[in-house]
Amino acid sequence: MSVQSCAPVLLTVFNRPRETLQLMTRLKQVRPRKIFIAADGPRSGRVEDHALCEEVRSLVTEQIDWPAEVFTDFSPHNLGLRRRMASAITWALELDDRVIVLEDDCIPDPSFFRFCTELLDYYEGDRSVGVITGDNFQPTGFRCEASYYFSRYPHCWGWATWRRAWEFYDDGMSDWPDTRETNWLETLFRNPLEALYWENIFNETHEGKIQSWAYRWTYTCWRRGMLTATPAVNLVTNIGTGPTATNTRDVEENKHGQAAQDLGFPLRHPAAVTRHHDADAYAQRHAFGAAKDRSFAGRFKRLCEKIKNTLKL
C-alpha cells in the first residue's frame, strides 16, 4: 500500500528492545506517514528498566528513517500496562479520529495495515462496528464467505478503532454494579455457564483483581453493541508470551501465537453486519474459557496439557 493511504499508527513500547526492533522492521515495509509512540516508564526498584526503556525509546525513533509526522508520549514513571495502554489510545485519538494500535510484541503481516485502513474508511459511519482486529484464533481450515467476519470479541493483538468508539471507554466500568443485577449477560450468552464466566471476569476486573484494560474495553464494546471486524486469516503474531509478559505468562497462551498470513485483496465484504455465531462459539471455548472447562473433566484435561507442555520445556 502507498504510504499516503496507511491510517495513523500508535506504537506502545516499554523495555523490550528485541521485540520492538522486530516491530519496527515490519513497520518500515509500510512507512506510515503519521505515527504515535507511547512509552511506559521504568518500574520502581527495577534498576535494569532505566537502560532498557531508554534503549527502546532511542531505537523506535531512530528506526523511523522515512518522512513521517511523529508524536511521542514518553512517561517518566511506570504507569503499568492497563493505565499506559488506555492513556496512550486516548492521547492518540485526541490527535486523530482513527488509529491502528500495535503493542511492541505484536508483529503484523504487511497486509494488516491495508486491511485496517480500508475498513476504517468503509465502516467509519457505522456505529455498530467499533473495532477492526488483525487476530484470528480459529482452527486450521476455518472458512468464511468473505475476507472477514464480525465477532463480539475485540481481540487486541493488533487492532484499530475510531475516536467515536473509544470515547465510550470507561476504565472504572462504572455501571457494572447495576448491570450485574440484571440478566444482561444471559441475553448475550445462551449457555448460562458462559455468562457466569464473564460475570466472574467483569467482577474481578471491576474490583481491580484483574489489571486489564482489554477486559474493560470488551465490556465497553458489549455494552454499546459494537462488533469487531475479524479477518478470515490471522494477520498478527504475538511474540511476547512467556515469563516476561504481563498478562500472557502461562505456556497455554502460546496457542494464540499463530503465524501471520497475507490477506488477499481486493477485500470481499460480508453481505451484512451480523455476528458469526459459530466462530464466536469456538473463540469462547478456545481463546477464553468454555463452560465445560469448569467441569472435573475439563480441569483434568487442562492439567494434563500443562504437564505435557512443562515436560517439553
Given a cut of 80, whether residue 307 has pLDDT beyond it is no
Nearest to 148 by CA among 272, 281, 283, 286: 272
Q: At residue 24, what is the residue type?
A: M
Evaluate whether 129 touches 229 at the Cβ level (below 8 Å).
yes
Instruction: List, in sequence order, every residue forming a beta bridge with 159; answer none if it has no partner.
Output: 101, 133
Which pLDDT score, from 0 to 100, does residue 258 have?
84
Instruction: List, in sequence order, every residue forming a beta bridge with 38; answer none if it has no partner.
Output: 12, 73
Given a cut of 50, whether residue 231 has pLDDT beyond it is yes
Residue-wise pLDDT for 51-98, tens only, equals 999 999 999 999 999 999 999 999 999 999 999 999 999 999 999 999
**Residue whose cell numbers read 534498576:** 47
Residue 298 CB partners (closer than 8 Å, separation 6+): 290, 292
Evaluate whether 149 touches 246 at the Cβ level (below 8 Å).
no
Residue 52 CB partners (closer than 8 Å, separation 6+): 15, 16, 17, 42
Evaluate whether 258 touches 137 at the Cβ level (below 8 Å).
yes
Residue 182 CB partners (closer than 8 Å, separation 6+): none
Given a cut of 60, whether residue 254 has pLDDT beyond it is no
Cis-peptide into 76, omega within 30 deg: no
The torsion region of residue 63 among left (phi > 0), alpha (psi -120 to 50) and beta comes to: alpha
Q: What gap in Å lies between CA 121 and CA 210, rounded to an integer?
A: 34
Residue 239 CB partners (closer than 8 Å, separation 6+): 19, 22, 105, 106, 107, 257
Would the CA dihedral through 243, 246, 251, 257 be positive or negative? negative
Cα distances from 143 to residues 140, 197, 231, 281, 301, in angstroms, run 9, 28, 11, 15, 28
Cell numbers placing 75: 512517561
Which ranges in the chain are annotated with CATH 3.40.50? Answer: 1-104
What mean pLDDT value characterizes the chain?
90
Architecture of domain 1-104: 3-Layer(aba) Sandwich (3.40)
Residue-wise pLDDT for 281-294, tens only, equals 999 999 887 544 44
- pLDDT mean over 109-120: 98
The torsion region of residue 158 among left (phi > 0), alpha (psi -120 to 50) and beta comes to: left
Which pLDDT score, from 0 to 100, does residue 5 have?
86
